[in-house]
Structure 1
Amino acid sequence: MLREMSATYGRSSLGYLWAILEPVAGIFLLTFVFSLAFRSPSLGTSFPLFFATGILPFMAYMDVSNKMSVALRYSKQLLFYPGVTYTDALIARFLLNAITSIMIAVILLPLIIIFYDLNVIIDMKAIAWGYMLAFALGAGIGTLNCFLLSVLPIWERAWAVLNRPLFLVSGVIVLFDTVPLPYRDWMWWNPLTHPIGLVRKGIYSTYDATYVSSVYVLAVSGVTLALGLLLLRRYHRDIINF
C-alpha cells in the first residue's frame, strides 16, 4: 500500500489534494451548467449536493475498478518475489482507493452542507451501505478486468468505449425516478444505479429509492469477483511471465 501511495499520489506536488480537486471540479462544472437551465435539481434545492451524491460514489467505483484492473501490470516486478502474490496486489489497490474515496466523501459532503447552510438529515447507514456496494462492484469488475486486460489487450480499448456512456446512464446527472419508461427499466439493470440511489437516500431523508436492490449488486459483484479470481489463480503465472 505504501508503494501504491507513493506511485499514485507521490509523483505530483499536489498529491492527495488532486484527489479532492478532481471531484470538486466535476461537481461545480455540472452545477454551473445545470443552474443556467434549471431553477433546482431533480432532488432537493442544492445543485452541488445533488451532483456530489452522484459523482462521489460513481468515482469510488471507477477508481477501485480501474486501479484493480491494472494491478498485475503495475506490480509485475514485485510478483516475482515468492512472498508476494497477485492477491496482495489486488488487495493493496482496493484498500488504498477505497480509503481515499471515503476520505474524499468525508471532506466534501460536510463542506458542501456547511458552506451552503443546508438542512440535511443524514442516514449514515444508507450512505455507508451505498459505498460498500460501490466498492464491492468495483472489486468484482476490477478483478475480472485484471485478467481480461492481461490476456486480451484489445479489451482495454473496448472497455473504455463501453464505459463512456456510464456516467450518463447511472443516475449521476438525472434522477432514476425521473427517467421515462421503458428507459428506466433498462437503467435498472445497470448495477451502478443502485449504490448511487442508496447514497442519495442517505442524504435526502424524503427520498425513498425503492428501486434499489442490494441483492442484485452483490450478485453481480460476487460472480465477477469469483470468476476473476478463478481465472487469475489459473493463469497468473503465465501473465507474469509473458
Structure 2
Amino acid sequence: MSTTFTVPPRPSLWAGLAVQIRVIGALILREMHTRYGRDNIGYLWMIAEPLMLGSVIALLHSGSPAHDGVSAVAFTVVGYCIFIMFRGIVNRSEGAFESNVPLLYHHQVTMFDVTIARAILEGAGTFLSFLVLLIIVISLGYVGFPVRPLYLIMAIGYMLWISTALSLMIVAGTYENTALEKLVHPFTYFTIPISASFYQMAWLPKYYRDILGWIPLPHIFEMARYGMFPGMNLEYVDMTYLTGFCMVTTLLGLLLMNTSRERIHLH
C-alpha cells in the first residue's frame, strides 16, 4: 500500500509581503509603547523630541541675516530637521541586536524587520516635526511654501533610504562588537560638517566641493533646498550617483544582516 505525500503550497509573494507588513506594524507599536509609553503626552513625544531640538536651533539663528534672499531660520529648519532624521535612525541602530534578541524566538520576526520598524518610526517622527516647524516658519513669514515640493519630498525619501541602509550595516556590525558600537554616536556628529546641512555647496571652493561630491548627504541637502527655496539649482546634485550609492549601501547592509544570523545565539 503506497502513501502519497502532498507538498504544501508555498505562500505567494503577496501573502508573504502581507505577513511582513503586519510584523513590522506590530513592531512599530511595540517600539512606540516601549520608548514613549502612555504617561504625560505619551506617543506625542515621537514628534515633540525632534521638534524641540529643531526649534532651539532655529531660535539660535533667528537673529542672523538672510543670505541670497533665504531666511537663516528657514535655511536652518530645512537643514537641521532633515539631518535629525539621519542622526536619529543611525543612532537608534546601535545595539539594536542585543535589545531585541528575545523577539527572534518568533520565527516570523527577523532583525531586518526590527531595523525597518525602528527606521520608519524615527523617520515618521522627524518628518512630522519638520512639517510642524515648516508650518510655523511659513506662518511667521520667514519663508513661502515650497516652490518644488516634489524635490523636497524626494530629498526626505533619499535621506530615509540612506539612513536605513546604513542602519542595516550598523545593526549587523555592532552585534557582539562593543568597540564599533561606541563609534556610532561620534560618527553622526562628525558627519555634520561634511553633510552640507548648514551651508550650500556653492559657498565652498571647488577643491572642497569635489571632495564632498563623493558623499551622498550634500546631494540630498542640495536637493531639499532646491525643492524648498526659489533661486536654487541642482548643479551639485547627481541623482544617478546618489541612487547608486543608496542601492549599493542597501545591498551591503542586507548581506551583512544575512551573515550575522549565524552569530545569533538564542538561549
- Contact map agreement 1:68 1:146 (CA 8 A) in 2: yes
Partner amino acid for 1:212?
A: V
Output the TM-score relative to the length of structure 1.
0.87
CA distance in 1, matches of 2:79, 2:198: 7
Number of aligned residues: 236
Residues 1:26 and 2:57 are matched in the alignment: yes
Aligned 1:46-85 pairs, distance under 5 A: 46-85=71-110
Unpaired runs of 5+ residues, structure 2, are 1-27
1:96 to 100, 121, 124: 121
Partner amino acid for 2:110?
A: T
Aligned 1:1-242 pairs, distance under 5 A: 1-10=28-37, 13=40, 15-16=45-46, 17-29=48-60, 31-32=61-62, 35=64, 39-41=65-67, 43-116=68-141, 118-241=143-266
- Contact map agreement 1:139 1:221 (CA 8 A) in 2: no
Q: Compute the displacement of 1:120 (Å).
A: 4.3
* 1:151/1:214 CA distance change after superposition, 3 Å: farther
CA distance in 1, matches of 2:38, 2:243: 35
* 1:159/1:66 CA distance change after superposition, 3 Å: closer
CA distance in 2, matches of 1:138, 1:116: 32
CA distance in 2, matches of 1:158, 1:69: 9
Q: Compute the displacement of 1:10 (Å).
A: 2.7
Query: Which has the larger displacement, 145-154 or 62-71?
Result: 62-71
Output the TM-score relative to the length of structure 2.
0.80
Q: Compute the displacement of 1:200 (Å).
A: 0.5
Deviation string, structure 1 residues 199-230 (Cα, Å, up to 9, x no partner): 11111121013111222222222222211212
Sequence identity percentage: 22
Q: CA RMSD in A?
A: 2.2
Q: Compute the displacement of 1:9 (Å).
A: 2.6
* 1:95/1:154 CA distance change after superposition, 3 Å: same
Misfit runs of 4+, over 4 Å:
none
Answer with 1 or 2: which has the greater Rg.
2
Q: Compute the displacement of 1:74 (Å).
A: 2.6
Partner amino acid for 1:22?
A: L
Deviation string, structure 1 residues 42-80 (Cα, Å, up to 9, x no partner): x43411101111111111122222223443233221112
Partner amino acid for 2:202?
A: D
Q: Compute the displacement of 1:238 (Å).
A: 1.7
Unpaired runs of 5+ residues, structure 1, are none
Q: Compute the displacement of 1:164 (Å).
A: 2.6
Q: For 1:49, what is the secondary structure of its paired residue?
A: helix
